[in-house]
Amino acid sequence: MNQLFDLAGQVAIVTGTSRGLGQYFGRALARAGADLVITSRHLESLSSFEEEIRSLGRRVLPLELDVRNRPSIERMVAQADAAFGRIDILVNNAGCNVRKPALEVSWEDWNLVLDTNLRGSFFVAQAVARRMIPRGYGRIINIGSVTSVAGYAGLGPYGASRGGIRQLTMSLADEWGRHGITVNCLAPGWFRTEQNKVLYENEKWVEYLCDRIPLKRPGEPPDLDGALVFLASESSRYVTGQLLLVDGGISTGATRAMVQKTA
């Protein structure tokens, strides 16, 4: 492996690894050489993924984490640091969505999405940065979305949270850069996940979507591997505060036509 992309000897925390893209992120980092801390609100949901990472020859520590609960965040980070003695990489992946027309979004819906996606990401990053700063090194990767730059009907709270992640990324990059910490935002486009799988059951919707993606297909999880490892490794040592869209090109402007037709 090119040394610029080699993560051997490094320790990565990936939040929200019980399913979906979180597991793909963890798998990509492990294949690049990193040991992992994997998290979920329910430890039993991590057992099979834990075994998979061990089979790759990596150390792995499953920990309970609820990103909406600050003591849970502090406890997880302290346990990770105590077990490995270092935290080099954070992938802020844990998130949720409530898909509703704006007029139907409740106070509770808003709080759930923003508390999980935005507030949770900030306080996890804060807790991890407190360990990174004394060492003068760190890679923080916040997971955003194409909704960080584009609006979609029915995704008001989610889009607000992902737009906030983009701004948060820039603020933290500006503040922590002097400590050798880079902070970037990896923003997937339309990938099939647990959050949106119902959309992909509609063949006409998928056809419509693909027509507006310049590469003519939705994303597949392996499409994110290279971007993730790039941002986690020495190859991105002079890259910080950036939004890296991995979206097949839909953010080039085709998005506007899609929004207009579905509004």
- Alpha-carbon distance 191 to 125, whole Å? 25
pLDDT digits (tens, 9 = 90+) for 52-80: 999 999 999 999 999 999 999 999 999 99
Which residues have C-beta within 8 Å of that of residue 88, sequence separation ≥ 6? 7, 10, 11, 12, 34, 132, 137, 138, 139
What share of the chain in percent tops pLDDT 70? 95
Which band of pLDDT confidence, cut at 50, 70 and 90, is reported for residue 150?
confident
Give the per-residue pLDDT at 255.
47
Catalytic positions: 158
Region 198-227 average pLDDT: 88
Q: What does the alpha-carbon distance between residue 113 and residue 219 come to, in Å, rounded to a whole number? A: 23
Predicted pLDDT of residue 199? 78
Q: Residue 64 pairs with which residues in a beta bridge?
A: 40
Cα separation, 51 vs 164, in Å, equals: 35
Return the structure tokens found at 217. 């297909």
| Whether residue 135 has pLDDT greater than 90 | yes
Q: Compute CA 21 distance to the chain's CA centroid, rounded to the nearest angstrom.
A: 8
Q: Which of 138-142, 152-156, 247-251: highest mean pLDDT?
A: 138-142
Q: Which residue has the tokens 């003519």?
A: 216
DSSP string of the chain? --GGG--TT-EEEES--SSHHHHHHHHHHHHTT-EEEEEESSGGGGHHHHHHHHHTT--EEEEE--TT-HHHHHHHHHHHHHHHS---EEEE---------GGG--HHHHHHHHIIIIIHHHHHHHHHHHHHHHHT-EEEEEE--GGGTS--TT-HHHHHHHHHHHHHHHHHHHHHGGGTEEEEEEEE-SB--TTTTTGGG-HHHHHHHHHHSTTSS-B-GGGGHHHHHHHHSGGGTT--S-EEEESTTGGGTHHHHHHHHH-
Q: Residue 195: what pLDDT?
A: 67
Sorted by where each starts, the structural domains of the chain and their CATH numbers stand as 3-262 (3.40.50.720)
pTM of the model: 0.91
Question: Rounded to an integer, what distance in angstroms lies between the CA atom of residue 242 and that of residue 140?
Answer: 11
Calculated CA dihedral for residues 4, 19, 186, 144, nearest 10 degrees: -160
Which one is predicted more confidently, 143 or 259?
A: 143
